[in-house]
Amino acid sequence: MTLKLPIYMDNHATTPVDPRVVEAMLPYFTEIFGNAASRSHSFGWTAEKAVELARDQVGALIGASGKEIVWTSGATESDNLAIKGAAEFHKDRGNHIITAQTEHKAVLDTCKRLEKEGFDVTYLPVEHDGRVNPATVRAAMTDKTILVSIMLANNEIGTVNPIEEIGAVVKERGAIFHVDAVQGVGKIPFDVNAARVDLASLSAHKMYGPKGIGALYVRRKPRVRITAQIDGGGHERGMRSGTLNVPSIVGFGKAAELSRTEMASEAKRLFALRERLREGIQSRVTDTYINGSMEHRLPGNLNISFAYVEGEGMLMGLKDVAVSSGSACTSASLEPSYVLRAVGVEEEMAHTSIRFGLGRFNTEEEVDYVIDLVVGKVNKLREISPLYEMAQQGIDLKSIQWAAH
């Protein structure tokens, strides 16, 4: 077998840069190095031309015009700019913001900061399948609601929100609709007009582009106003100052174009790989549980709990495979994943979850290798698991008085 180890299956964390993207970027480090803001010579003009092409490429991926794209350093900055910028600009209209408990920290912690500044934030619960119910958005909206921020697809469990329905609900009240679209864009269809989105955060490194470059879509018709968070030379129509990172922008544009033209076939291929992985594991391992909706899910995502086997112990066994776990132990905090908790996964099961993120460069051979490895490790770790032993003896683990945290 010509399998190369280690195998990367953590494509929600980041993706490798597509070689075609690298190729597109290279000239912009050396020959075409101009500052896109330089108006007095051809170095600046050619750089600017490349940036404008990339704007159109990124815009086309989400049904927007290139003029509606604001470059940022990544989706963390985009989320901050969208939420803080909209809150600050529209604070005279109200002080209420709605988001969901399963959002990325870039959204949640931004909202927490706004709470300290006097804004009211509602953190909506989600359904057991991991999705935001549009009816809960409607019920939470008040006359004071200025902004609703809901993600397109979740980074842990890959569940896809009914974003068009939510957009319609938000517009009933005329609030601003921000979507953290990072995980879904380029993987599933997303159209800012169909979903009536005002602001959308994108990141290149989740779609085979370079790290450290992102974008915020800002609707022009009708014009959505936000307050800039970084002041300076007034780049990006005053919304985000700073000399543009031309090579990365070119790479982002190329990555967006590739995603747009290849999305349909890639989604089909990834779905088949994911199902191969899921069936391969579930047909050979008992007591597994899928976290989040199977129906409304990114094609490359599998988030699965292996009862009686702790996630980090499992990751250690899968050392030739890059995946991640919702177990506490993988982070500095000792709490298991807040996303899994919000979905109603019990703490003990949250500790046993593994996230597989399949991507453009994964192969069937890799999937088959991973299935064998996972099955072997689960069996080995269950052999040494006191919980598995007790379950086999018919002991109800819930009947035991465990020590507190």
Ligand X SMILES: Cc1ncc(COP(=O)(O)O)c(C=O)c1O
For residue 74, state whether it binds ligand X (rule: CB under 6 A): yes
Nearer Cβ to ligand X (58/309): 58
Rounded to the nearest 5°, which phi and psi values hold at 182? -50, -50
* Gyration radius (Cα) of the chain, Å: 22
Show the DSSP H helices in 209-300 as ranges.
246-282
CB 65 within 8 A of CB 76: no
Q: Give the nearest distance from C-beta 384 to another protein in angstroms.
A: 5
Question: Which of 159, 161, 203, 291: binder of ligand X (CB under 6 A)?
Answer: 203
Of the listed 329, 375, 387, 391, which one is catalytic? Answer: 329
Query: What distance in Å separates the CA atoms of residue 1 and residue 384, rounded to the nearest whole number?
Result: 31
Helices 105-116 and 75-89, axial angle in degrees (round to 10): 30
Q: Give the nearest distance from C-beta 398 to another protein in angstroms.
A: 9
For residue 373, state whether it binds another protein (rule: CB under 8 A): no
> Residues for the chain: how many in total?
405
Applying the rule CB under 6 A, the residues between 96 and 115 that interact with ligand X are 104, 106
Which residues on neighbouring strands pair with residue 198, listed in sequence order?
A: none
For residue 10, state whether it binds another protein (rule: CB under 8 A): no
For residue 81, state whether it binds ligand X (rule: CB under 6 A): no
Q: Give the nearest distance from C-beta 103 to ligand X in angstroms.
A: 7
Which span sits near ligand X by CB under 6 A: 124-132, 179-187, 230-238, 319-327? Answer: 179-187
262 binds, among ligand X, another protein, none (CB under 5 to 8 A by kind): none
Nearer Cβ to another protein (346/364): 346
Question: Which of 22, 32, 329, 375: binder of another protein (CB under 8 A)?
Answer: 329
For residue 151, state whether it binds ligand X (rule: CB under 6 A): yes
Amino acid identity of residue 138, one-letter, is R
b/e per residue 264-275 (b: at least 16 CB within 10 A): eebbebbeebbe
Tell me which residue of 160, 159, 151 sits closest to 75, measured CA to CA: 151
Q: Give the nearest distance from C-beta 344 to another protein in angstroms.
A: 14
For residue 391, state whether it binds another protein (rule: CB under 8 A): no
**Kind and range of the H or E run holding 49:** helix 42-61
The structure tokens listed for 32 are 């075409």
312 binds, among another protein, ligand X, none (CB under 5 to 8 A by kind): another protein
Nearer Cβ to ligand X (183/259): 183
329 part of the active site: yes
Tell me which residue of 168, 90, 325 sits closest to 150, measured CA to CA: 168
363 binds, among ligand X, another protein, none (CB under 5 to 8 A by kind): none
104 binds, among ligand X, another protein, none (CB under 5 to 8 A by kind): ligand X
Which residues on neighbouring strands pair with residue 70, listed in sequence order?
A: 216
186 binds, among another protein, ligand X, none (CB under 5 to 8 A by kind): none
Which residues on neighbouring strands pair with residue 10, listed in sequence order?
A: 357
Surface-to-core class of residue 157, CB atoms within 10 Å of its CB (0-12 exposed, 13-18 middle, 19+ buried)? buried
330 binds, among another protein, ligand X, none (CB under 5 to 8 A by kind): another protein
Footprint on this chain of ligand X (rule: CB under 6 A): 74-76, 79, 104, 106, 151, 155, 180, 182-183, 203, 214
Which residues are the active-site residues?
329
